[in-house]
């Protein structure tokens, strides 16, 4: 589908009309439909696509930059491809039940990284922020240093490296050094000289890491990423997870992603998960020192395979439609909907986001219902960080026929909704264990197992079967968690890490 500003204008006008005019009372087809409004970075706003070169390959590239595919017969939702990101939007029910005045509507937003990184991967501007507080003494600090040295071997001369070590104070060991032979030799020397001491100035160290990434020196083709490692509670400088998380979100907007690695049993997982979510990165729980090198290696492998970065989804809802919940991803409510931070996608990686809407039908509402629009923005790393964006306008048929609504169910979405809701219950049980309320934790898990088993009977799925087993294991693990404070910490960290991963 070619980029055409005139076409976009006509589609936008049609969408506005659909949102404002009375809904028709005629019967609609049994299919969830969406109108497509495409906005691409190659459009000048003057009726013609912008052409940076006159070659035919460049024209073909512009055409492929953002495209939508027509709904597949049978109600498979809408698929849009923007650069290296493919977005599929699937409703739990393709026909909305209008028999009540309000209705909860679940949407599954499925994003996939398209293509692959060919030739030279994008240059990487990497900051590694290491905890060297007194609690890191011994095997933990040794393992972190060894893993960091292994990480240096993966860098290329096009990359830049910043090393920051923190205790009660923050020390910049290397700042954006070129990862050539001399730069890596200096970095190795700095890593080997790290010793444990003092407290945990995590907040100031994080802020110093962000300062390294000056927006004025930013290149679109460059991946900017910060890895934060800690084994303890922030006790020096800024400690509020809300403040630190907001700073991570601000830097995500400037092209910097954040991943966090929690080592051991004493770190603040609320802070570490918030930083990763707000920073568009990943959170890792590392229970034993033997896993540090593997986790760092996995994190780096995913980073260098990135095909799209800075992915953000914005939902603009029609009147009477509200975003109530976004599972597993950082989101902020906006006056007309929600902004969801997705982060990056590696080649063929899939991210699934469950969004819960509340729809107010109004008096006598019938026929097709406009829900709103979904905007996707990203940087295409297969095209030197070129910005891409696209927009989908969503509408769905409504019906008062219970059988028609029942037959329109997409069970794959129902299963995913059940997964993320049970993950939230696993998280709640872990929080109850933290406070010593084991009876509450057991009840939460038992109730969740019963709910999933009922869902499994209605919509059999290997995913649900696996989740039921994990919840049962979590319940059986409560007895061991009671035995000691250490076992309770292990239980809490493991359960929360499982719940976090399942939500992604």
3-state SS string over 262-298? EECCCCCHHHHHHHHHHCCCCEEEECCHHHHHHHHHH
Q: Is residue 335 part of a domain?
A: yes
Please tell me the predicted confidence (pLDDT) of residue 119.
64
Please tell me the predicted confidence (pLDDT) of residue 218.
73
Give yes or no: residues 367 and 432 share one domain.
no
Q: Is residue 379 part of a domain?
A: yes
Q: Is residue 298 part of a domain?
A: yes
Give yes or no: residues 31 and 70 share one domain.
yes
Q: Is 332 helix (H, G, I), strand (E, B) or coil?
A: strand
Q: Is residue 119 part of a domain?
A: no
Give yes or no: residues 264 and 197 share one domain.
yes
Give yes or no: residues 401 and 416 share one domain.
no
Structural domain of residue 416, as residue ranges? 412-503
CATH (domain of 190): 3.40.50.410
Please tell me the predicted confidence (pLDDT) of residue 467.
94
Give yes or no: residues 140 and 210 share one domain.
yes
Please tell me the predicted confidence (pLDDT) of residue 41.
37
Considering its fold, how many domains does the chain have in total?
A: 3
Q: Is 28 helix (H, G, I), strand (E, B) or coil?
A: coil
Q: How far is CA 191 from CA 57, 128, 129, in A?
A: 46, 11, 11
Give yes or no: residues 108 and 233 share one domain.
no
* Rounded Cα–Cα distance for residues 322 and 310 (Å): 25
Q: Is residue 216 part of a domain?
A: yes
Of the residues 238, 271, 304, the one at which a domain ends: 304
Give yes or no: residues 300 and 360 share one domain.
no
Give yes or no: residues 263 and 320 share one domain.
no
Contacts of 478 by beta carbon, 8 Å cutoff, 6+ apart: 433, 438, 441, 442, 445, 491
Please tell me the predicted confidence (pLDDT) of residue 365.
59
Instruction: Name the helix (H) or strand (E) containing 12.
Output: helix 5-20
Please tell me the predicted confidence (pLDDT) of residue 207.
97
Calculated CA dihedral for residues 338, 342, 343, 347, nearest 10 degrees: -150
Give yes or no: residues 246 and 280 share one domain.
yes
Of the residues 282, 304, 326, the one at which a domain ends: 304
Give yes or no: residues 402 and 478 share one domain.
no
Q: Which residues in the chain land under pLDDT 50?
A: 1-76
Give yes or no: residues 161 and 254 share one domain.
yes
Give yes or no: residues 300 and 335 share one domain.
no
Please tell me the predicted confidence (pLDDT) of residue 22.
41
Please tell me the predicted confidence (pLDDT) of residue 219.
78
Q: Yes or no: say if 420 and 451 are a contact pair by the CB < 8 Å rule.
A: no
Of the residues 346, 380, 408, the one at which a domain ends: 408
Please tell me the predicted confidence (pLDDT) of residue 216.
79
Q: Is residue 423 part of a domain?
A: yes
Please tell me the predicted confidence (pLDDT) of residue 258.
96
């Amino acid at each position: 589908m070619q980029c055409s500003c005139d076409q976009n204008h006509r589609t936008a006008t049609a969408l506005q009309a659909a949102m404002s005019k009375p809904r028709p009372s005629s019967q609609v087809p049994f299919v969830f439909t969406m109108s497509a409004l495409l906005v691409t970075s190659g459009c000048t706003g003057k009726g013609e696509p912008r052409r940076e070169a006159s070659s035919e390959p460049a024209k073909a590239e512009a055409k492929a930059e953002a495209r939508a595919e027509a709904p597949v017969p049978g109600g498979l939702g809408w698929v849009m491809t923007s650069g290296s990101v493919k977005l599929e939007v699937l409703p739990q029910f393709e026909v909305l039940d209008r028999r009540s005045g309000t209705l909860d509507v679940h949407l599954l937003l499925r994003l996939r990284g398209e293509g692959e990184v060919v030739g030279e991967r994008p240059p990487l501007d990497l900051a590694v922020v290491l905890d060297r507080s007194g609690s890191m003494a011994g095997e933990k600090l040794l393992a972190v240093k060894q893993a960091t040295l292994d990480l240096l071997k993966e860098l290329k001369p096009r990359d830049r490296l910043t090393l920051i070590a923190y205790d009660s104070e923050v020390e910049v060991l290397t700042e954006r050094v070129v990862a050539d032979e001399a730069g890596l030799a200096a970095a190795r020397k700095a890593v080997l000289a790290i010793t444990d001491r003092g407290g945990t100035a995590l907040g100031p160290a994080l802020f110093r890491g962000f300062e390294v990434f000056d927006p004025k020196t930013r290149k679109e083709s460059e991946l900017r990423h910060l890895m934060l490692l800690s084994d303890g509670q922030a006790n020096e400088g800024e400690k509020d997870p809300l403040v630190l998380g907001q700073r991570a979100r601000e830097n995500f907007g400037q092209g910097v992603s954040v991943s966090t690695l929690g080592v051991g049993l004493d770190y603040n997982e609320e802070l570490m998960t918030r930083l990763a979510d707000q920073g568009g990165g990943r959170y890792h729980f590392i229970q034993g020192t033997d896993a540090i090198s593997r986790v760092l290696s996995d994190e780096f492998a995913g980073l260098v395979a990135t095909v799209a970065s800075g992915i953000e989804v914005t939902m603009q809802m029609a009147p009477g439609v509200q975003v109530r919940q976004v599972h597993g991803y950082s989101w902020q409510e906006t006056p007309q909907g929600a902004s969801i931070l997705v982060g990056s996608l590696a080649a063929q990686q899939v991210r699934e986001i469950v969004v819960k809407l509340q729809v107010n039908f109004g008096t006598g509402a019938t026929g097709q219902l406009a829900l709103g629009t979904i905007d996707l923005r990203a940087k295409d790393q297969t095209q030197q960080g070129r910005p891409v964006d696209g927009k989908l306008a969503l509408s769905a048929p409504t019906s008062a026929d219970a059988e028609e609504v029942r037959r329109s169910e997409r069970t794959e979405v129902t299963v995913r909704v059940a997964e993320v809701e049970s993950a939230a219950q696993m998280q709640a049980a872990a929080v109850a264990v933290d406070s010593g309320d084991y009876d509450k934790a057991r009840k939460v898990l038992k109730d969740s197992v019963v709910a999933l088993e009922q869902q499994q009977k209605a919509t059999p799925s290997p995913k649900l079967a696996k989740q039921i087993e994990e919840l049962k294991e979590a319940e059986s693990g409560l007895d061991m968690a009671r035995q000691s404070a250490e076992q309770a910490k292990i239980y809490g960290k493991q359960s929360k890490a499982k719940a976090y991963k399942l939500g992604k």
